[in-house]
Chain A
């Protein structure tokens, strides 16, 4: 069989600089899936874009060939004229991009944007195209294709937009689909469903698939061939089964070790409930009122959190897990006093010495005192540090605000903190742009630590980072916690990350805690369908444990579709009941 796509000795460079992709070769048979794996900066995205020749403006293919074999004859995509290349794009080779939010034009209806492919390549009339597009919409899982056809992108959720992108890529039945991190921006359950969909479509149409990803779990679930890239070079390539079971190259092994996994451990004996709490949230609800539109319309109420009771013991880590919109970040903001809970809710902060602080009703001096004790590490290390402040200024600022120490003492403390987070004290005079993502997150942690707090709220601190960096940051957080007796409130959508760091996990859905238990218990014996879906949706870097899509679909659907014992609606909400000691599930008894 002639391969569908052959890439030979491909080198790509920006301007006159060193090439960012060097001598990359691989080939793909029809109907096969090839995963391009690597971290950011490895050249995987540039490589896959070179196939369609949609490179950034100043990037050039320096040498090498990309040959596409279609219907018996072979085309060299590197030398094809721009006009003929347009016939290949979207027709023989199509692409799905990473960010469904921004990859669709916000001003055009979905139907229009998808039909366009058929107008361009099949010269279809509007009504012919519409028919095909509606069929494709149905196929990719839109519950109401007609409505989706008329929708604008901002009316759809992220998962639905990615389905629309897939529909756009599939509608002309291409021979090759390139998916550039198609699920990175999605929730884990949505990711599982989208991956499942791509796989099904591939089996139906027999197209080849190039999947660009940094997630070995995704690779194990999808790929037959794997190409591991690092700094523009291929480190290791081969069949997925062999490569995943016995990675030969040290870099691949390194990636494997960094990949987080849900433990397979037996449940450990129950621990007695902790009495020494540092944070106590009681019956916390938060209702947002959306105003907007004409005055005669009633305001819309959004219940971000509904009756949350959470207790964080001193020196422990409590994790809140959920998809976007589940209310986990709102809960964290309330815990920090950045938002006030609805009347009736209470948040108590209990310092090791001194009186408890009512976070929901702080006076100004209390707030100052509380801020010294409670700090936050943010999700995006790129935007949470001011690009115009030197590291030393960013670090000493909290001390200045709280008028602690002299200038020299503050600088000494900043240098000390840098060492604590594994950076060098002579980096103090640099600006944030001189640091990598992982280093910036270390800076954020150092900044949070400057006031010597006892409670740190981590809001998805690793989700913007590469796997190997994520691993380092998690180790650092654990290390600091144990060294300084910190307590963490850890927000994440990633169960595998949580499994590693948390002492107690609360799973949230639609503002409610649906299940709560220590991680070993939760992962070994999940009760709630949503928890089961989250666990099942987690792609594991183990080729023998594929994603169970049935479980995912069952739990990730709307709460009305859950089994009767767990079902809830706007009016009837089951209470959180103790299923076994230390393990609470929201169900009807």
Chain B
């Protein structure tokens, strides 16, 4: 009951935050002088192509770029009627990409889900690797297990991702016959989902997941180890041992549960840092994720496209934070009962 109410409350604040974020994004995108179309018009005029100018002028009016900034924003979000009535993010219209001359939803469509897929796989990888290694390193602290895992952890942290990507591609292809680049075999591109396509995606995911996840996993492992070591020194651990619990069972039930809080709280931070951090990797690996698209859009001041991608990243972040907050409440009674009558 408390949980449900909390989740609803968190959801409401999330929507509010999203609104504020949208305003900030719109403002920042429009900070540099000019926009895509006026740049284009200047260019066309300079080269004497008057016919193109008319089309650009038409688009400028069509997308309300000739209106004041705040009106543009309201129209973009969909809280004010534009030239075509209410048609903004809220109504599900993500706008027009001038650079690609296609609707934004067409461009990002598949790459949106691939982005989510790649990042979920990476987050999963981070947790699956960091959890056992971190626990092992703490339970066997100051032994060779600890030192070895720390060594590889720091190695993973220190190696540049794109370098790791290139190395893995080379050896992965040479020895394991792993595919190079892309997120699926080119022949499946644009085709509807099928068993073969899913398989192809999975095989292509192996290297990117590893590359994007390594540094996160290394950092997470060290954090978990440190937290767990702190917890292991606490009196309740002694109580548990004095009860006659076996060390693995004791470790899993008490200190690990306590050390889990920061672990869970990290979900929210992990998602955005991976999305933005994986841009370079995506370029190097040729992944059809949203990262490279964002890069182009920002460079060419393609404002609706970049605005949408940034909103999407913000949404991922907020959803991640919300998930971790709700999980924390679920995990820790002290947070759950806070504010209840004493």
Q: Mark A85-98, 1 if CB is under 8 A from B, else 0.
A: 01111110011010
26 contacts between A and B (CB under 8 A): A52-B242, A86-B244, A88-B244, A89-B242, A90-B243, A90-B244, A95-B242, A97-B239, A97-B242, A102-B235, A103-B236, A103-B239, A107-B334, A108-B257, A120-B244, A152-B334, A154-B334, A154-B337, A168-B243, A292-B339, A293-B338, A294-B5, A294-B9, A294-B339, A300-B341, A300-B342
User: Measured between alpha carbons, how far is A168 from B234 in the docked complex, in Å?
Assistant: 18
Contacts of B234 in A (CB 8 A): 102
Neighbouring A residues of B128 by C-beta, 8 Å: none
Given contacts A54-B238, A102-B234, A105-B254, contact A292 B338 (CB under 8 A): yes
Q: Tell me, in angstroms, the Cα distance from A103 to B201 when the chains sit together.
A: 50
A→B interface (CB under 8 Å):
52, 54, 86-91, 94-95, 97, 99, 102-108, 116-117, 120-121, 152, 154-155, 165, 168, 290, 292-294, 297, 300
Complex A-B, nearest 8 residue pairs according to Cβ-Cβ distance, in ascending order? A293-B339, A89-B244, A90-B244, A90-B243, A292-B339, A103-B235, A95-B242, A102-B235
Shortest Cβ distance from residue B123 to the other chain A in the assembled complex, whole angstroms: 24
Nearest CB of chain A from residue B252's CB, rounded to whole Å: 12
Given A104-B239, A105-B257, A107-B332, 12 new contacts (CB under 8 A): A52-B242, A54-B238, A88-B244, A91-B244, A94-B243, A102-B235, A102-B236, A106-B333, A116-B243, A117-B243, A290-B342, A293-B339
- Across the interface, A117 reaches (CB within 8 A) one of B244, B339, B342, namely B244
B331 at interface (Cβ–Cβ under 8 A)?
yes
Asked whether, in the complex, the Cβ of B236 is within 8 Å of the Cβ of A104, the reply is: yes
- B188-245 interface (Cβ within 8 A of A): 234-236, 238-245
- Name the distance in Å between B111's Cβ and chain A's nearest Cβ: 40
> Is A152's CB under 8 angstroms from B333's CB?
yes
Cross-chain contact A155 with B243 (CB below 8 angstroms):
no
Q: How near does chain A come to B237, taking the closest CB pair, in angstroms?
A: 9
- By a CB distance below 8 angstroms, the chain A residues around B258 are 105-107
Total inter-chain residue pairs, C-beta < 8 Å: 85
A293 contact set on B, CB distance < 8 A = 338-340
Residues in A with CB closer than 8 Å to B257 are 105, 107-108
Asked whether any CB of chain A lies closer than 8 Å to the CB of B246, the reply is yes
Bound Cα distance from A94 to B244, whole angstroms: 9
For B336, give the chain A residue with the smallest CB separation.
A152
Are B241 and A54 in contact, CB atoms less than 8 angstroms apart?
Answer: yes
- Asked whether A152 and B240 contact (CB < 8 A) given A86-B246, A107-B257, the answer is no
- Chain B residues lying within 8 Å of A88, measured Cβ to Cβ, are 244
- Residues on B facing A (Cβ under 8 Å): 5, 9, 234-236, 238-246, 253-254, 257-258, 331-334, 337-342
A315 to nearest B CB, angstroms? Answer: 42
B242: nearest chain-A partner, CB-CB: A95
In angstroms, Cα B334 to Cα A88, docked, is 33
Cross-chain contact B254 with A89 (CB below 8 angstroms):
no
Q: What is the CA–CA distance of A64 and B270 in the complex, to the nearest angstrom?
A: 54
**Cβ-neighbour of A155 out of B239, B254, B337 (below 8 A):** B337
Bound form: Cα–Cα A106–B338 in Å: 13
Report the bound CA distance from A102 to B254 in whole Å.
Answer: 13
Within the complex, the shortest CB–CB distance from A273 to chain B, in Å, comes to: 40
CB <8 Å contact, A94 and B334: no
Q: Nearest chain-A residue to B234 (Cβ)?
A: A102
Q: Contacts A152-B334, A294-B9 given: A105-B339 contact, CB under 8 Å?
A: no
**Smallest CB-CB separation from B6: which chain A residue?**
A294
Question: Quick one: closest B residue to A83, CB to CB?
Answer: B246
B243 touches A97 (CB 8 A): no
Task: Name the CB-closest residue of A to B340.
Answer: A293
CB-CB under 8 A from A116, the residues of chain B are 243, 245
A88 to B241, CA, bound (A): 11
Across the interface, do A103 and B338 meet the contact criterion of CB distance under 8 Å?
Answer: no
Which residues of A lie under 8 Å from residue B334 when comparing CB positions? 106-107, 152, 154
Residue pair A89, B243 in contact (C-beta under 8 Å): yes
List, in ascending order, chain A residues with CB within 8 A of B337's CB.
Answer: 152, 154-155
Q: State A91–B242 Cα separation when bound (angstroms).
A: 9
What is the bound-complex CA distance between A294 and B244, given in angstroms? 42
* Chain B residues within 8 Å of A120, by CB: 243-245
Could you say which residues of chain A place their CB within 8 Å of the CB of B236? 102-106
- Across-interface contacts of B238 in A (CB, < 8 A): 54, 97, 103
- Docked CA distance A544–B20 (Å): 74
- With CB as the reference atom, state the residue of chain B lying closest to A151: B333
Q: Which residues of A contact B246 (CB under 8 A)?
A: 86
The interface residues of chain B lying within 8 Å CB-to-CB of A95 are 239, 242
Q: What B residues does A104 contact at CB under 8 A?
A: 236, 239
State A193–B254 Cα separation when bound (angstroms).
Answer: 30
- How near does chain B come to A303, taking the closest CB pair, in angstroms? 13
**Which of B242, B333, B339 interacts with A54 by CB under 8 Å?**
B242
Tell me the bound Cα distance from A154 to B253 in angstroms: 18
Q: How far is the CB of A84 from chain B (nearest CB, A)?
A: 10
Q: CA of A258 to CA of B244 in the docked complex: distance in angstroms?
A: 39
A160 CB to closest chain B CB (Å) equals: 14
Write out the residue numbers on chain A whose beta carbons fall within 8 Å of the beta carbon of B341: 300
CB distance from A75 to the nearest CB of B (A): 14
CA gap between A434 and B331 in the complex, in Å: 42
Instruction: Please name all residues of chain B whose beta carbon is closer than 8 Å to the beta carbon of A108 when the two chains form the complex.
Output: 253-254, 257
Q: Which residues of A contact B239 (CB under 8 A)?
A: 95, 97, 103-105, 165, 168
Please, which residues of chain A bring their CB within 8 A of the CB of B5?
294
Question: Which single member of A52, A94, A107, A297 contacts B339 (CB below 8 Å)?
Answer: A297
A467 → chain B, closest Cβ, in Å?
Answer: 23
Specify the chain B residue showing the minimal Cβ separation from A89.
B244
One of A107, A290, A292 near B331 (C-beta < 8 A) = A107
Q: What's the minimum C-beta distance from B18 to chain A, rounded to whole angstroms?
A: 21
Q: Does B235 contact A97, Cβ atoms closer than 8 Å? A: yes
Complex CA gap A300/B334 in Å reads 18
Tell me the bound Cα distance from A154 to B236 in angstroms.
13
Most interface-central of A95, A105, A165, A300 (chain B CB within 10 A): A105
Measured between alpha carbons, how far is A52 from B242 in the docked complex, in Å? Answer: 7
Min CB distance B259 to A, Å, is: 11
| CB-CB nearest in chain B for A114 | B243
In whole angstroms, how far apart are the Cα atoms of A95 and B254 in the complex?
Answer: 18
Nearest chain-A residue to B245 (Cβ)? A120
The distance in angstroms between the C-alpha atoms of A120 and B238, with both chains bound, is 16
B254 surroundings in chain A (CB, below 8 A): 105, 107-108
Q: Which residues of chain A have C-beta atoms less than 8 A from B9's C-beta?
A: 294
Tell me how far the C-beta of A181 lies from the nearest C-beta in chain B, rounded to whole angstroms. 12
Q: How far apart are B338's CB and chain A's nearest CB, in angstroms?
A: 6
Residues of B within 8 A of A87 (CB): 244
Q: State A88–B239 Cα separation when bound (angstroms).
A: 14
CB distance from B191 to the nearest CB of A (A): 49
Smallest CB–CB gap between B240 and chain A, Å? Answer: 7
Chain B, residue nearest A53 (CB): B241
**A154 CB contacts on chain B under 8 angstroms:** 333-334, 337
User: Taking CB as reference atom, which chain A residue is nearest B241?
Assistant: A54
The smallest C-beta distance from B188 to any residue of chain A, in angstroms, reads 47
Residues of A within 8 A of B245 (CB): 86, 116, 120
Closest-by-CB residue of B relative to A112 is B253
A304 to B244, CA, bound (A): 42
> What chain A residues lie within 8 Å of B253 (beta carbons)?
108
For A90, list chain B residues within 8 Å (CB).
242-244
Contacting pair A99 B241 (CB below 8 A): no
In the complex, the answer to whether A99 meets B235 with C-beta atoms within 8 Å is yes
CA distance A300 to B339 in the complex (A): 10
Bound Cα distance from A117 to B338, whole angstroms:
29
Q: How far is the CA of A86 from the CA of B246 in the complex (A)?
A: 7
